[in-house]
Amino acid sequence: MRALLIAAATALAAFGLSACSLPPVGAVAVGVDDAGGPVLVMASCEGPAEHIEVSSAPETGTASPTVQDWREDLELSNPEPRDDDPAAVSLTDPGGRWEAVIAGAEFTEGRVYEARAWPTTEGTLGSIDFTTAEIADLGEGEVLYYDEAVKRRGPVADFVDAGLAHC
């Protein structure tokens, strides 16, 4: 009986955790602008993004940063997203209709950054983690992105194909 209760509790916990997760409806990547600043590139199955967040933690070199090491560096809101919104947003100078909820992100060496975006519907465009060293040598039209669980570097077109595979 005890084993059955433990199994039921485990199944219920797994269901609860999966119910809290938003489904992927696209993907995000990071590239650079002409000045070398980070640009978030988005491929969305569900329309334009309305919210972007960037967090950072000290680079540890070996282990992942702990939860308490992370801080929120940037939060952007697009109060009136439209289908003709650009699919790329500079994280140092967002412009357009993007409003800074938390501003002043400085992208410096020695930190790992995680950028996330959400569309106007239920779901997430996911996240991408990066360091300034990783994006420093990206060429024109190149981005860092996740294809499944593998971080890749490649042309924007390859990222868009991988991102829209979530549709």
pLDDT in tens, 28-78: 999 999 999 999 999 999 889 999 999 999 987 666 667 668 899 999 999
Amino acid at residue number 17: L
Model pTM greater than 0.85? no
CA–CA separation, 55 and 75 (whole Å) = 9
Please, are residues 31 and 142 in contact by the beta-carbon 8 Å criterion?
A: yes
Sheet with 150-155, edge to edge strand ranges: 88-90, 38-44, 26-32, 142-147, 150-155
Q: What is the mean pLDDT of the chain?
A: 84
**pLDDT at residue 22, as a whole number:** 79
Structure-model confidence comparison of residues 31 and 11, the more confident one: 31
Number of domains within the chain: 1
Q: Which domain holds residue 133?
A: 23-164
In a domain, 12, yes or no: no
In a domain, 36, yes or no: yes
**Domain membership flag for residue 87:** yes
Indicate whether 4 belongs to any domain: no
pLDDT at 15: 36
Q: Alpha-carbon Rg of the chain, whole angstroms?
A: 18
